[in-house]
Every structure is written in C-alpha cells, then in structure tokens.
Chain A
Amino acid sequence: MKALAHFLAGVAALASAPLAAQTVAITGGRVVVGDGSEPIDGGTVVIRDGRVAAAGAGVTVPAGATVIDATGKWVTPGIVAGFSRIGLTEVDAVDATNDIQATNSPFSAAIDVVPAINPQAVSIAVNRAAGVTRAIVSPATGRSIFAGQGAVIDLGSDMQPITRARAFQFIELGEEGAQDAGGSRASAHVLLRNALREARDLRLPIGGGATRETRESDAPIEDISENPYILPDARRPEDVLLTRFDAAALVPVLQGRQLLLVHVERASDILQTLALKQEFPRLRLVLVGVAEGWRVAEQIAAAQVPVIANALQDLPSSFEQLAATQSNIGRMLAAGVPVAIGMNNEDESRQVRVSTQFAGNLVGIGRVPGHSGLSWNEAFAAISSRPAEAIGLGGEIGSLRPGRRGDVVIWDGDPLELATGVEAVWIDGVQQNLENRQTRLRDRYRQPQEGALPNAYDR
C-alpha cells in the first residue's frame, strides 16, 4: 500500500509539474504579434495563467514573473498548421497506426477525429520542436464526399490535445469528390444537397409522439451525445441515403454553427462551391486547396470565404490544378481574400513544420518579376493568425494579442529562414520539452561506432 501511495504521489507530481503555468516575461526580443503588424524590437511578452497577458513595447514585467532574456532573438506566437492530419497517424504506411481515413466505415459525416488523436505520436513532438503549437486536423474521405468532423488541437506534451472538438465538417467537391460520389462532380453535388436535405428533414421529438422540423433557432449541437436528432423517436422519412448519425452530424453545418471545409482546386469547382451559399445561406464555408483560386479571386473575396491554400503548389499535377502557381496566395490576398497556408498534400501528417519554409518562399518570390509574393508580416500571419481566424478561433490562438492562449516560441533568428532554430516553446503557458525521438537518435549516433558497450546502452 505504501509503495502504491508513493507511486501515486510520484505520478501526481509528474502530472502537475508541467501543468503549472507560471507567469513568464520574455524580454528584449523582436516580438512578432502574428496579426500582420510590424515586428517590435526590444519588446516584452508576458504569459500569465496560460494566456498572453501583454506583448509589445513598454510592457511592464509583473512582479514575481520568471524573466527570460530574449535579446537578439525573435519571439512569436506558435505556428498554427492550417490544414493537417497530424496526430492521426504514426507511420502512414502502417495501416494499424493510420486513422486518417476510414475506407470501409459505414459512417461518413458523423466521424469525429477526436478519439483518434494521439498526443504522443512522434510527429507531434517533432513538429512541436520546430515551433508548431496548434493544428487544424481533418479526416480524409473514405467512400463518401463527407470525411467527417475535424478538430483543432495543440501540440503540447500532455494528454489533453483538443482545443476545439468538431470544429468543422470536411468534404471533397473536386476530382476526389467526384470519385467519392461514384464518378462525377455532378453526383458529388447531388449527394451534398441530398445530405443537407436529409439533415433539414430530421424531425425533432417535441413530446407526445409529435415531432417538428429543424429550426435555425435551435440550440447548437456541441456534442454528438447531446444531439436530439439521433434519439429513437426523432422520425425520418423513408427516402434517405445517410445513416441517422451522419444526417444528424450535418445539422450544425446546415445551421451555420459548424464550419464546412471544402476541398476544391479548379476555378469552376470553386465557383460551384461558392454558389452553395445561395441555396444554403447559413453555410459557413472555408475553401481548402484552391490551386486555381487566383483565377476567381474576386468572386472568393466578394463572398468573403476564407481560404486555406497550399503555398507552393505550382505543377499541373492534376487537371484541376492546371493554373497552379506559387503566386496564388499572393494574388488572392491582393484581391482581398482572407488566406492562410495549409498543407493538403503528403506533408500534412508529419511535416507541418515546413510551414515556416513555405511562408518564407512566398516572401522570396516577391523579388521575382511577375510573381505576387507576400510581405514578411503577411507571410507570418498566414501561418499563425490567418489559419486561426479561418477556423473561427482568431480570438483564442494564432497571435500574441492579449487574452490569446499562451503559445509562444523563441527563435534564434528570423523564423521563416532555413537556418533558424527553435530555442523555447510554450503551449497554454506551459514550457515544453523539445526533445523527441529524432533528437535522441541523433545523440545516440553522434559517434556511430560502438564503444565499450553496444549503442543500445547509450541513452
């Protein structure tokens, strides 16, 4: 018993130690707020109670704060991975570890990534060490245009990764959507409309065996377990394709209470997606991918639909990306489209750390005649506040404005430069361990030859 008590006390100490968010003042660094504003030299960032208390020039260091001198360093909000699959897989090609996609699932829209997120995935630690602190995590489609519901997570080392569960529904409406829908884009659009109809037609029990239709004034559904549309006496018409669970999951989308992220690349697919707003005015769309966005940038801007785009896609890798160019994001931004950088390619599950490199490239192309690059400030915002805003969490994460989560990174130089390293990371005000499996392997093989004992003893 005594041993057990000891053990439990030890566990409690271990668990509570890193969670104790101290008051920290980081002084003297070049502070990047992340909202597109100019960096502030010699600024101070104060983190208190897990949140940013203040950031900028002339900030007073609170009494009792741990002061960290960041003279000569850059201090920024943590990077927000704009679109990813991080935490959903350990090794992509090892199916048993890969929860990105459920090809044989009977469900689609109802799928929720939350139970699949593994905060101890090596990729979480590896990307945290590179300054990524939050990620938008989406499932991929299996055999429906509906992938299911994605989440916003943190990359902290604790076991509570979820920042916002069920933040959005993700669907495919381009080439992939056509395939998911049985072979054509037209079918994908019918499937979408039918699904939204089925969601609309779900009838809510109002007692005494009576039911009524969904109303926009109905309380938002925050959690599947609270969703009244899946109760057994909530009636449905006979003519349905979706399971009740899937249809019920689409009610918040229809109500405009849950974002609908739509992957499209081709200019015409983008316009068809924007047109959905005429039929379903409450939809809150976010476009993902959008390689040909620059061709219809004015229409996207007019609709004020945020975009999460792949920064460096410049090949006609499919017929829906013929006009791809690295100037896409710059041109859309110039047209007034709110644009963030996201992955949407093979980097999305493990390599969201290249976000800084991608953003830097968009600054670099600005020096090539004919290209539309981003200013440095816009580029950094595209991997911090813009993705946060696109996903509806601009008030919570993605910048160092007061009140935001205490996600802060100290870099030894310009965070968009290739040679720059990360010196320290806080998530929710908790300083993070930056060691990971990769750094451990590196240290073990600094000298590869065996010493007095095999390398396996070297740790």
Chain B
Amino acid sequence: MKSHWGIAAAAAVAMLGGCAAQTEGPATASSERSSNRYTPPDDPYPSTYRAYPGVPTAITGATVFDGEGGRIDNGTVVLVDGRIQAIGGADTPIPEGAVRIDGTGRWVTPGVIDVHSHLGDYPSPGVEAHSDGNEVTSPVRPEVWAEHSVWPQDPGFSRALVNGGVTTLQVLPGSANLFGGRGVTLRNVPARTVQGMRFPGAPRGLKMACGENPKRVYGNRNQMPGTRMGNVALMRQTWQRAAEYRDKRTRDPSTARDLALETLVEVLEGDVLVHNHCYRADEMAVMMDMAREFGFRISTFHHAVESYKIADLLRENDVCSAMWADWWGFKMEAYDAVNENIPLVHNAGACAIVHSDDPNGIQRLNQEAAKALADGRRMGIDISDAVAWRWLTFNPARALGIDEETGSLRVGKRADVVLWNGDPFSVYSRPQQVWIDGALLYDMNDPRLRPVSDFELGQPGEGDVK
C-alpha cells in the first residue's frame, strides 16, 4: 500500500538525523519550505482548478500599490499568460498587441485575500440545511475538512469578487471545537466543484479555537471542556496523542490509520498551518507556549481582538494577527476591542491582517483597513497607504503559505489584480475590473461579466447589480 502521506517517510528521515527539505511532490515554488508543503503526493481531493484564458493586458497611468508596501504613481502593470509580466513606471515596456487600459485616476492593487471566511460552509441562504461549518459532535474533530462542506453555489463568492475584489480566500470550519478541522484555500472563481476552486498547491489549514466557544458548547453538555483550563488540557492531551501516533506510524507503517491524528501530524511536520481563533491576549500567550511545548507553529491568531496588548510577544513569536477594524462587544472576549488594534500590531513590527469572518465584511475589507489606518494615524502611528495594503494581500498570503504565488504584484506571480475606480481606501471606490490568473472575471461596465450562481438563476434579482 502506497504511503498515504509521505510524512511517515519524512519523519523517519528526520529521526535518522536527516533534516530539512524532503522533496516529495513537485517542487513548484521556490521557497525552501514549499517543496514539502505544496501538493502532498497523496492528496485525495486534488485541485482541478485551471486558470481561465486571459489576454495580454497592460494597465497604465494608475496609482499602483504592489502589496508589499511599494507605491508607483503613474504606474504600469502588465499581465501576460496569467502572470505579472511587468510592473513599473510610465516607461515600462508594453508587449505588442496587449489590451491597454487607461488607469488614470484609478488604483491597481493585488487581489484581496481573506484569510478567514465561511463562504460555502455557511452559505446564503443561511438556512439550517446549509449549516455546515461546525462539526459540533466532539471538541476534537481534526479529521473534518471544511472543503467537504463548501457549497460552490454560495452567492457570497460573487459578492466578494465584485464588491470586494477578493481573489483568494481561506474557508475555515467554525469555532465550536478546539480542533475544528482543516481549512481550505480557494481561488474565488465560480466552479461546479470545490476541487475546481482549490488553490493549487496551497497548504491546508487547521482551525483551532480558544476561549468561550468550545467551553460553552461542550460545558453545556457537561462534557469536557467546560472551562478555559479544560480547553488547554484537552488540546495538550490531543497534541500528545498526535506526537505518539507519529512516532508509532514512523516505527510501524502498518499502524492503523487515524484520520484525525493524521491532520495533527501534518501540522507537527509543518505541512498544515494552524489558524487559531483566539481573542484574548492571555490565551494567545498560552497558545504560543503550547506551540513550543509540542513543536508546532501557529500561523495566525484569528479575531485577535486583544493583540494590541501583546504586540511585542506576537512579533517575537512571528505569529500573524487577523483582525477586524472595529467589530466588538458581541461577547465577553470581544469586549476589550480598540479601533487601533491593527495599526498597533503593525507598529510593533508584528504581522497584521484584515479579515472578515463574514459574508458582508468580505465585501469591504479595503474599507475596514482604511478605518483602522485612519484611527492609527490619529494616535500618531504613521503608516502609508501602500504599506497598509499589506494587511489585505501580502500578509494574508504569507499566513496562508501562498506568498510565492500571490499577494503582491511581483513579476512572475499569479496575475490576481484589481483595478479600482478610485482610491481603494475611499468609501466611494469600487472594483472596476478584477483579474484572477490574468483572466478578466469582473468588469463593472460589462453586465455579462457578473457571475450568477445556480441558486440565484431564475430568482428575483437574477443578474442584478448587487
């Protein structure tokens, strides 16, 4: 029987004193870690996404935020064969025959990336029959995969594209469980199947949750966890089981396969990234110790309402915070929110991300960033617009392990591009055109380039502006 993960082999090598990169699977990306992360050889639900055809396109005369902090006035961006071919000033060469788009008075940015969405697993309409985000049958459910809940016909995907310029998103399980299951990173391209949306080569995520939700859900059933200390104890016990399972599988590959622990082993091996729902500063600090105790890495704390209280620790531990601009107070652990959370985290040198967790918020991530940026400036934190754009594209790409592929307008990266009809930090601006892998998938001037999901077909409002 074919080794189903490749991890056992990798671990065996590691135990024999080998280290660093195993090169199982195609080495599609240049980063040192990517060769291990991308396309696990046994991926049973592989991406079938194919880029749609585009035409060579040059946007000229625009204000360009490159997504990594750079700004070019009167800039040119060239998209060819689905990739960024060139980015520069007015003298950037434009290939013959390329479609030219006058970007004067407009802005060009990388496509927005939402690191925290439930589109597809809590789709619209939000009826009981569609409620597929929380496997609330045990606090430890790392064996479930969000992608197996995603309904590609969720009309919310198209709203995120058209109003929000969102080209990539991670769909996560909910936060009822300590271990909620695997998240999946998607291209925001309509498809018949979730495999048709999966970002090729993107590592999967593991959703974990601290705090109120798990202890409330299970405590109410007189089951562990009923307290925050119960949360931590059950997490630790589970990581311990995962480590033992890894060792056992390494020694004896015929050991019965455990799909739940398999996810956790992939985390321990660095192939699956931890996305941790965690609001309170003190709990984040505990989680960072837990990561050290068991040897895993937390990519990102999600919601992270209190990150501003421990921005220094987050920088030292190199953990990103995915935050709202000003959403607060809906529950106890969201009570200490401040409007300046995002700029305070950024200013401390830690990684800041604007996220939505919401089918409406995902349509306005640029506006959330704008509010936070302005609040930061009012308290004296001076961050340029171009640098703040990192919160929307480059930093989430890093958090998802896809920064070699997207998240900034670097030559050779995927041509995930938004042309905004004005300053994207203005409330009055909207995406004018959106390209994904160089394919024009939205154009505000062309009603035919407005995706309509199966659900909306034949219903009132079909194909309307939304």
> Chain A: residues with CB nearer than 8 A to chain B?
90-94, 122-123, 126, 267, 292, 295, 312-319, 321-327, 346, 349-351, 353, 357, 360-361, 363-365, 367-371, 416-421, 438-439, 441-442, 445-446, 448-449
Q: Is the CB of B427 within 8 A of A416?
A: yes
The 8 A CB mask of B449-466 against A (1 = contact, 0 = none) is 000000110011100111
Q: Is the CB of A315 within 8 A of B360?
A: yes
- List residues 414-430 of chain B with CB under 8 A from any CB of chain A: 421-422, 425-430
**Chain B's interface: helix, strand, loop or mixed, by majority?**
loop
Q: Which 4 pairs from chain A and chain B are nearest by CB?
A: A360-B427, A323-B461, A93-B331, A419-B374
Q: Is the CB of B339 within 8 A of A327?
A: no
Q: How far is the CB of B94 from chain A (nearest CB, A)?
A: 27
Q: Which stretch (B13-21, B33-41, B256-264, B305-313) binds chain A?
A: B305-313
Q: Is the CB of A448 within 8 A of B459?
A: no
Q: Is the CB of A322 within 8 A of B329?
A: no
**Chain A's interface: helix, strand, loop or mixed, by majority?**
loop
Nearest B residue to A372 via CB reads B465
Q: How far is the CB of A289 from chain B (nearest CB, A)?
A: 15
Q: Is the CB of A446 within 8 A of B126?
A: no
CA separation between A369 and B364, bound complex, in Å?
19
Chain A CB within 10 A, most for which of B359, B364, B455, B465? B465
Q: Is the CB of A316 within 8 A of B370?
A: no
* Residues of chain A lying within 8 A (CB to CB) of residue B125: 316-319, 321
Q: With A323-B461, A363-B427, A418-B426 given, is the CB distance from A315 to B159 under 8 Å? A: yes
* Residues of chain A lying within 8 A (CB to CB) of residue B159: 314-315
- Given A326-B466, A445-B344, 10 more pairs with CB closer than 8 A: A314-B466, A327-B465, A367-B422, A370-B464, A417-B426, A417-B428, A418-B374, A419-B425, A438-B339, A446-B379
Residue pairs across A and B with Cβ atoms less than 8 A apart, 7 shown, are A326-B466, A349-B329, A361-B427, A418-B370, A419-B371, A442-B338, A448-B348
Q: Is the CB of B329 within 8 A of A420?
A: no
| A441 touches which of B311, B332, B336, B421 (Cβ 8 Å) | B336
Q: Is the CB of B367 within 8 A of A357?
A: yes
CA separation between A93 and B217, bound complex, in Å?
13
* Residues of chain A lying within 8 A (CB to CB) of residue B338: 438-439, 441-442, 445
| A315 touches which of B327, B359, B374 (Cβ 8 Å) | B359
CA separation between A368 and B428, bound complex, in Å?
10
- List residues 365-424 of chain B with CB under 8 A from any CB of chain A: 367, 370-371, 373-375, 377-379, 421-422
* Residues of chain A lying within 8 A (CB to CB) of residue B330: 91-93, 346, 350
Chain A CB within 10 A, most for which of B309, B312, B461? B461
CA separation between A364 and B163, bound complex, in Å?
11
Nearest A residue to B446 via CB reads A369
Q: With A316-B455, A318-B126 given, is the CB distance from A418 to B339 under 8 Å? A: no
* Residues of chain B lying within 8 A (CB to CB) of residue A446: 344, 379
Q: Is the CB of B374 within 8 A of A325?
A: no
Nearest B residue to A346 via CB reads B330
Does B52 reach chain A (CB closer than 8 Å)? no
* Residues of chain A lying within 8 A (CB to CB) of residue B344: 442, 445-446
Does B30 reach chain A (CB closer than 8 Å)? no
CA separation between A325 and B359, bound complex, in Å?
14
Nearest A residue to B156 via CB reads A315
Q: How far is the CB of A321 from chain B (nearest CB, A)?
A: 8
Nearest B residue to A418 via CB reads B370
Q: How far is the CB of A387 from chain B (nearest CB, A)?
A: 20
Q: How far is the CB of A207 from chain B (nearest CB, A)?
A: 53
* Residues of chain A lying within 8 A (CB to CB) of residue B127: 318-319
| A91 touches which of B126, B331, B375, B377 (Cβ 8 Å) | B331
Q: How far is the CB of A407 from chain B (nearest CB, A)?
A: 22
- List residues 313-335 of chain B with CB under 8 A from any CB of chain A: 326-332, 335
| B461 touches which of A90, A325, A420 (Cβ 8 Å) | A325
Does B337 reach chain A (CB closer than 8 Å)? yes
Does B137 reach chain A (CB closer than 8 Å)? no
Q: Is the CB of A292 within 8 A of B460?
A: yes
* Residues of chain B lying within 8 A (CB to CB) of residue A367: 421-422, 428, 430
CA separation between A325 and B309, bound complex, in Å?
39
* Residues of chain A lying within 8 A (CB to CB) of residue B337: 438
The 8 A CB mask of B214-249 against A (1 = contact, 0 = none) is 000000000000000000000000000000000000
Q: How far is the CB of B447 from chain A (nearest CB, A)?
A: 7
Q: How far is the CB of A350 from chain B (nearest CB, A)?
A: 5
* Residues of chain A lying within 8 A (CB to CB) of residue B370: 418-419
Q: Is the CB of B444 within 8 A of A368?
A: yes
Q: Is the CB of B359 within 8 A of A317?
A: yes
- List residues 285-317 of chain B with CB under 8 A from any CB of chain A: 308-312
| A445 touches which of B156, B309, B363, B425 (Cβ 8 Å) | B309
Does B124 reach chain A (CB closer than 8 Å)? yes
Q: How far is the CB of A18 from chain B (nearest CB, A)?
A: 24
- List residues 99-132 of chain B with CB under 8 A from any CB of chain A: 124-127
Q: With A315-B124, A326-B466, A442-B339 given, is the CB distance from A357 to B331 under 8 Å? A: no
Nearest A residue to B443 via CB reads A369
CA separation between A322 and B367, bound complex, in Å?
25
Q: How far is the CB of B331 from chain A (nearest CB, A)?
A: 4
CA separation between A319 and B460, bound complex, in Å?
11
Nearest B residue to A366 via CB reads B428
* Residues of chain B lying within 8 A (CB to CB) of residue A321: 125
Q: Is the CB of B460 within 8 A of A122?
A: no
Q: How far is the CB of B110 from chain A (nearest CB, A)?
A: 20
| B430 touches which of A292, A364, A448 (Cβ 8 Å) | A364
Does B340 reach chain A (CB closer than 8 Å)? yes
Does B445 reach chain A (CB closer than 8 Å)? yes
* Residues of chain B lying within 8 A (CB to CB) of residue A418: 367, 370-371, 374, 425-427
* Residues of chain B lying within 8 A (CB to CB) of residue A295: 460
* Residues of chain B lying within 8 A (CB to CB) of residue A449: 312
* Residues of chain A lying within 8 A (CB to CB) of residue B371: 357, 418-419
Q: How far is the CB of B176 from chain A (nearest CB, A)?
A: 14
Q: With A327-B465, A417-B427, A448-B348 given, is the CB distance from A91 to B311 under 8 Å? A: no
Q: Is the CB of B378 within 8 A of A421?
A: yes
CA separation between A349 and B426, bound complex, in Å?
26
Does B155 reach chain A (CB closer than 8 Å)? yes
Q: How far is the CB of A388 from chain B (nearest CB, A)?
A: 23
Q: With A315-B360, A319-B125 given, is the CB distance from A123 to B430 under 8 Å? A: no
| B429 touches which of A323, A364, A419 (Cβ 8 Å) | A364
CA separation between A318 and B310, bound complex, in Å?
40
Q: Is the CB of A351 within 8 A of B461?
A: no
Q: How far is the CB of A361 from chain B (nearest CB, A)?
A: 6
| B374 touches which of A317, A326, A363, A420 (Cβ 8 Å) | A420
Q: How far is the CB of B108 from chain A (nearest CB, A)?
A: 17
* Residues of chain B lying within 8 A (CB to CB) of residue A327: 464-465
Q: Is the CB of B340 within 8 A of A364?
A: no
Q: With A315-B155, A441-B336 given, is the CB distance from A350 to B124 under 8 Å? A: no
CA separation between A412 and B312, bound complex, in Å?
32
Q: Is the CB of A323 within 8 A of B428?
A: no
* Residues of chain A lying within 8 A (CB to CB) of residue B456: 316, 322
Q: How far is the CB of A104 from chain B (nearest CB, A)?
A: 18
| B332 touches which of A94, A267, A292, A319 (Cβ 8 Å) | A94
* Residues of chain B lying within 8 A (CB to CB) of residue A92: 329-331
Chain A CB within 10 A, most for which of B348, B367, B429? B367
* Residues of chain A lying within 8 A (CB to CB) of residue B445: 369
